[in-house]
Amino acid sequence: MSDTIAADSETLAVPSAAPRETRAVRLRNFWADYRRSWVAVASLIVIALLIAASFGAPLLAPQDPYDMAALDWMDAFLRPGTVGSGGYMHLLGTDNAGRDMLSAIFYGLRTSFVIGLTAGVLALSIGIVVGLAAAYFRGRTEAVLMRVVDLQLSMPAILLALVMVAMLGQGVAQIIFALVVAQYAYFARTTHGAATVERGKDYIEAARSTPLPTHRVLLRHLLPNVMPPLIVVATVQIASAIALEATLSFLGVGLPLTEPSLGSLISNGFKYIHTDRYWLSIYPGLFLMITVVAINLVGDQVRTILDPRNAR
Amino acid sequence: MLGFLLQRLIQAMIVIIAMSVIVFLGVYAIGNPIDVLIDPGATAEIRENLIRQYGLDQPLWQQYFTFVGQVLRGDLGTSMVYNIPVTDLVFSRLPATLELVFVSVCIATLVGIPAGLYAGYRPNGIAAKAIMALSVLGFSVPTFWIGMLLIMAFAVGLGWLPSGGRGDTGSLFGIPTSLATADGWSHVIMPAINLSLFKMGLLIRLTRAGMVEAMSTDYVKFARAQGLPDRQIVFSHVLRNISIPIVTVFGLELGSTLAFAVVTESVFNWPGVGKLIIDSILQLDRPVMVSYLVLVVILFVLINLTVDLVYARLDPRVRLKGGAA
Amino acid sequence: MSAALDVRGLTTRFATRTGHVTAVNNVSFSVEPGRILGLVGESGSGKSVTGFSVLGLIDAPGEIAGGQVLIEGEDMRALTPEAQRRMRGRRVAMVFQDPMMTLNPVLRVGDQMAMAVRVHERVSKSAALARAREALEIVGIPAPAERLKAYPHQLSGGMRQRVAIAIALLHRPSVIIADEPTTALDVSIQGQILAEVRRLADETGTAIVWVSHDLAVVSSLADDICVMYAGRIVESGPAAEVIAAPRHPYTQGLIQSVPSLHEPGRKLPQIPGSTPQLSRLPTGCPFRPRCPRATEVCASDPPDLGTGGRRVLCHHPLETP
């Protein structure tokens, strides 16, 4: 018991003594902690493979599933493992239009990642700006900004996204916009919470009392200290953005059928759910599930490591 | 207590007003409602008449107050697809949704809280690890996909349960509900489980975290030093303490369950308001969209208000603070 | 007279990543009814773990590895977990350090006390509340009936600690382990509580083990003193003798560093170095690196010197004057 207390005071003492030199050390420690969970390591590998498959889709996929000329109606509903008219094996079968499912899934994954990451990064940026502004300026700015954020947080993301889609219509840009509107509030809340804690500490007061411009204090001093919790929220939000996009596309209000997306593939497969053509919906669904769960597991591990209560 | 209540009521009113502006702007002012409302083939004269009839020639703020006035009188317009008053339409669909949400919330609570308590009580056991793995699946895997898997397994594969629809309804206390018939239950159980999983995952995590934290507190150690059995410590001491965050999230998630019913209803073809809103978005039936949103906002505000009051009941420290304010 | 609490060779250890850490190492002491034993040591010396071990409240990764805990001759360690539970609160009770944390914030004082009564006795809720009120009166709480309806946050710190002591007294236990119960309180309240505890021990005949880092408090309160260092009892004996003529160099260092026990106007001597980490103890006497009297022989385990109630664990004890 006393052993852990002594160890804590040691790890605490190091960064305050030499903050710059320890960044690499901290990263190495972080990885050592991360590696402790084989599930989390496996998840990271899975995500890397999925990203490679999705962005390498034009090279890896046997077919461009959205080039209508390449599709052959004779190839419709081929079972997984069948060789079609193209002369190659359809590992995961083909859909009602004769589209190779594996190719469609790779292209669909690409859309999912592009939308999830773009929405995530935009929401993160806006959230940071709003949260930091609220925490830094305090007073009325803080009250108004955080009231709006709280209000939005009390509304489920799916509902906000539905309203946005209803207003803006369908398409990639519209979906990203809807996701950003639905999700920036999580980042703003987290940033504000962490920054409020930080700003009470002496070093921010010290920085404010020097003639440094406001944005420098915010960016150089406040931001690095609110990053850790934001990383956790970001992983979870990217996963939920991907899931939300798929959900909207499944409901038919997301991406139009001409855009490849896991959600629209599953939605298409859903029409055949009562037949034995399971592969139309099962495979895109599995890829969606694996993607989302893997990202969440990575986020979970990062959260566990960053949780001060689990400090070594 | 009265001051506390009043303060919360004022907050609730502000939220409703803010949301009404957003809903109004979102649905009526953005885009061109004229194109949606009026047949493109109509003559210029008919167009003019209709524009005047809908009040679209008036300034925006005036349109807003007309809209608010109508909403206050309970007039939300007429569905352009079904051609019946929207309020009638929504209220005819509401019981199906509420019953679905009710059953799923019950399932989530009855499974989630005991599972979370157990996982927090023996956090290193195999059962706890399994419970936590399931909870990760529960709130990360998209609802619609799990719903489809359920249909494939239990309706298509095993043939045990119907794949969709509401089934027979009976009357329970004068309300038509599927919970009064066996056929109704067979229809409601699968969508309800589907809808409950997200909330269940969340409740498990929350309960577990609270339990783990509470078990290491001094008051639990003190209770053990008094010779209280663990069962009593959990149910008399810990549950009361962790019920505060659980009730808060539970209430907030009630609204989100209502919203996620949109997805489950679409998967299981459940004739509730969620299915209605998706259909109306696809068919650009704006009056239906507006009334759904107004209804949801009001429900949300009511739920939040209830949560605040329950919170104050559970935590004596909050009660004291509210009384002084 | 048989001892209310007789601890023999108690050893408690914790499993860590690098192996076992022995927090309580072969600890023996006994307290007779109505007497107060002061268990003194720096934080991390194992004194609190000793208290929890006596009640059998050590959770994984910790475990009680050996020894006996005799409560009026009955060995706690030989009992089933359920029988141990029935001993707790009834025959041996405990009071904690921080009164802000020991009471459940969301339950009324009366409900918590009634629960503590009814866990060991089959009485009605109203009878239990009556017992609770009596107990509050005994510890000197004014208007006890009203306090029963209060929530913990409505009471002051001193008042809450009195409530905790009253809970410990509910079943007239043979032994109460008091784990630094006055450390978190104001000095004036501290004095009141100490007087109260002394009176209770005398009147009820309850034996009290007073765990503390504060030698000044213990010397004024306790009948006997055990000094703990790195999980071991290094010196024990009647309080007056230990304070007046310490034999272990560590005890001497402790006494010299307490202002009130020292001549005013002189610079306070300090014990050099700091509390050792239990995972990195030197061989032999753990105090060796900080000890002014240490020699090579101290690298071997120190002998248990002294007789009867006056013992010291040291190769080079100070001579009694």
Please, what are the domains in chain C?
5-91+171-250 (3.40.50.300)
Structure confidence by residue, pLDDT tens digits, A176-215: 888 898 888 888 888 888 888 777 777 667 776 777 676 6
Is A13 at the interface with chain C, CB within 8 A? no
In chain C, residues 93-132 whose CB comes closer than 8 Å to chain B: 93-94, 96, 98, 101-107, 115-116, 119-120
Return d(Cα B108, Cα B196) in angstroms, integer: 5
Q: Which residues in B lie closer than 8 A to residue C89 (C-beta atoms)?
A: 225-228
Task: Inspect the interface and report whether the beta carbons of C14 and A2 lie closer than 8 Å.
Answer: no
**Average pLDDT, stretch A213-234?**
76
Question: With helix as H, strand as E and coil as C, how does B217-279 read?
Answer: CHHHHHHHHCCCCHHHHHHHHHHHHHHHHHHHHHHHHHHHHHHHHHHHHHHCCCCCHHHHHHH
Domain-wise residue ranges, chain B: 1-54+284-325, 86-280
The H or E element spanning position A94 is none
Is B190 at the interface with chain A, CB within 8 A? no
Residue A19 has pLDDT above 50, yes or no: no
What is the pLDDT confidence band of residue A9, given thresholds at 50, 70 and 90? Answer: very low
Instruction: Give the A:B interface size as CB pairs under 8 Å.
Output: 101
Nearest to B144 among A250, A274, A297 (CB): A250
Choice between B246 and A96, residue whose per-residue pLDDT is larger: B246
Query: From start to end of chain B, where are the E strands?
Result: 170-172, 175-177
**Burial of C243 per CB tally in 10 Å (0-12, 13-18, 19+):** buried
Residue B166 has pLDDT above 80, yes or no: no
Task: Inspect the interface and report whether the beta carbons of A253 and B30 lie closer than 8 Å.
Answer: no
Nearest to B316 among C88, C90, C106 (CB): C106
- What is the Cβ-side half-sphere exposure of residue B12, based on CA atoms within 13 angstroms? 19
Q: Which residue does chain A place closest to B265, by CA atoms?
A: A251
Give the three-state DSSP class for A109: helix
Choice between C315 and A79, residue whose per-residue pLDDT is larger: C315
Structural tokens at position C77: 């360690």
Per-residue DSSP letters for C202-220? HHH--EEEEEES-HHHHHH
CA dist A301 to A41, A44, A247, A298, Å? 9, 11, 26, 5
What is the pLDDT confidence band of residue C306, given thresholds at 50, 70 and 90? Answer: confident
The mean of the pLDDT values for chain C is 86
Task: Inspect the interface and report whether the beta carbons of B140 and A296 lie closer than 8 Å.
Answer: yes
Task: Inspect the interface and report whether the beta carbons of A2 and C278 lie closer than 8 Å.
Answer: yes
What is the pLDDT confidence band of residue C39, given thresholds at 50, 70 and 90? Answer: very high
Residue B115 has pLDDT above 60, yes or no: yes
Q: Could you tell me which of C180, C238, C174 has the C-alpha nearest to residue C33?
A: C174
The mean of the pLDDT values for chain A is 76
Structural tokens at position A179: 């996701």
Return d(Cα C305, Cα C311) in angstroms, integer: 6
Q: Which residues in C lie closer than 8 A to residue A2 (C-beta atoms)?
A: 23, 43-44, 275, 277-278
Give the three-state DSSP class for C318: coil
% of chain C surpassing 70 pLDDT? 97
Which of B163-177, B186-200, C253-267 has the highest average model confidence (pLDDT)?
Answer: B186-200
Task: Inspect the interface and report whether the beta carbons of C119 and B314 lie closer than 8 Å.
Answer: no
Structural tokens at position B39: 């047949």
Task: Inspect the interface and report whether the beta carbons of B222 and C153 lie closer than 8 Å.
Answer: no
- Residue B293 and residue B281 in contact, taking contact as beta carbons nearer than 8 Å: no
Q: Where are the alpha helices (DSSP H) in chain A?
A: 2-17, 22-34, 38-55, 57-60, 101-137, 139-153, 157-168, 172-199, 202-209, 214-216, 223-251, 262-270, 279-306
In this structure, CATH architecture of domain B86-280: Orthogonal Bundle (1.10)
Q: Which residues in A lie closer than 8 A to residue C44 (C-beta atoms)?
A: 1-2, 5-6
Return d(Cα B243, Cα B313) in angstroms, integer: 11
Task: Inspect the interface and report whether the beta carbons of B304 and A251 lie closer than 8 Å.
Answer: no
Rounded to 5 degrees, φ, ψ at C10 are -70, 130
Residue A8 has pLDDT above 50, yes or no: no
Q: Which residues in B lie closer than 8 A to residue C85 (C-beta atoms)?
A: 227, 229
Q: Where are the alpha helices (DSSP H) in chain C?
A: 47-55, 81-87, 99-102, 109-118, 125-138, 144-149, 157-169, 187-204, 215-221, 239-244, 249-256
What is the pLDDT confidence band of residue B324, given thresholds at 50, 70 and 90? Answer: very low
Task: Inspect the interface and report whether the beta carbons of C107 and B317 lie closer than 8 Å.
Answer: no
User: Cα–Cα–Cα angle for A74, A78, A82, nearest 5°?
Assistant: 110
Task: Inspect the interface and report whether the beta carbons of B151 and A243 lie closer than 8 Å.
Answer: no
Nearest to B314 among C103, C106, C153 (CB): C106
Is B209 at the interface with chain A, CB within 8 A? no
Return d(Cα A146, Cα A189) in angstroms, integer: 7
User: Cα–Cα–Cα angle for C217, C221, C222, nearest 5°?
Assistant: 110
Choice between B262 and B253, residue whose per-residue pLDDT is larger: B262
% of chain B surpassing 90 pLDDT? 1
Structure confidence by residue, pLDDT tens digits, A127-157: 988 988 888 777 788 888 887 787 777 777 7
- What is the Cβ-side half-sphere exposure of residue C180, based on CA atoms within 13 angstroms? 19
Closest chain C C-alpha to A108 CA, distance in angstroms: 46
Per-residue DSSP letters for C56-73? T---TTEEEEEEEEEETT
% of chain B surpassing 70 pLDDT? 83
Cβ atoms < 10 Å from Cβ of B252: 19
Structure confidence by residue, pLDDT tens digits, C136-184: 888 888 888 889 999 888 888 888 888 998 898 888 888 999 888 887 7
Which own/partner pairs from C130-134 qualify as long-range (CB within 8 Å, at least 24 positions apart)? C131/C170, C132/C166, C132/C170
What pLDDT is stored for residue C224 in this prediction? Answer: 92
Residue A10 has pLDDT above 60, yes or no: no
Chains that touch C (3 or more CB pairs under 8 A): A, B
Is B224 at the interface with chain C, CB within 8 A? yes
What pLDDT is stored for residue A100 in this prediction? Answer: 76
Residue A14 has pLDDT above 60, yes or no: no
- What is the Cβ-side half-sphere exposure of residue A103, based on CA atoms within 13 angstroms? 20
Q: Which residue does chain A place closest to C61, by CA atoms?
A: A1
* Total-model pTM: 0.77
- Residue C134 and residue C161 in contact, taking contact as beta carbons nearer than 8 Å: no
**Average pLDDT, stretch B254-271?**
84
Question: Which of A150-154, B84-88, C73-77, C221-225 shows the lowest per-residue confidence on average (mean pLDDT)?
Answer: A150-154
What pLDDT is stored for residue A126 in this prediction? Answer: 92
Nearest to A6 among C14, C49, C277 (CB): C277
- Residue A153 and residue A237 in contact, taking contact as beta carbons nearer than 8 Å: no
What is the pLDDT confidence band of residue C16, given thresholds at 50, 70 and 90? Answer: confident
What is the pLDDT confidence band of residue A123, given thresholds at 50, 70 and 90? Answer: very high
Residue B184 has pLDDT above 50, yes or no: yes
CA dist C94 to A306, B291, C39, C53, C141, Å? 36, 61, 14, 11, 19
Structure confidence by residue, pLDDT tens digits, B94-105: 888 888 888 898
Choice between A142 and C321, residue whose per-residue pLDDT is larger: A142
Is B323 at the interface with chain C, CB within 8 A? no
What ipTM did this prediction achieve?
0.86
Q: Which residues in B lie closer than 8 A to residue C102 (C-beta atoms)?
A: 218-219, 221-222
Residue A307 has pLDDT above 80, yes or no: no
What pLDDT is stored for residue B321 in this prediction? Answer: 46
What is the pLDDT confidence band of residue A235, given thresholds at 50, 70 and 90? Answer: confident
Structure confidence by residue, pLDDT tens digits, C59-68: 878 888 888 8
What pLDDT is stored for residue A81 in this prediction? Answer: 67
Q: Which residues in A lie closer than 8 A to residue B141 (C-beta atoms)?
A: 243, 289, 292-293
Q: What share of chain B is helix, strand, coil (3-state, %, to 5)?
A: 80, 0, 20
Closest chain B C-alpha to A150 CA, distance in angstroms: 11
Choice between A311 and C167, residue whose per-residue pLDDT is larger: C167
Residue A15 has pLDDT above 50, yes or no: no
Task: Inspect the interface and report whether the beta carbons of B218 and C98 lie closer than 8 Å.
Answer: yes
Q: Which residues in A lie closer than 8 A to residue C23 (C-beta atoms)?
A: 1-2
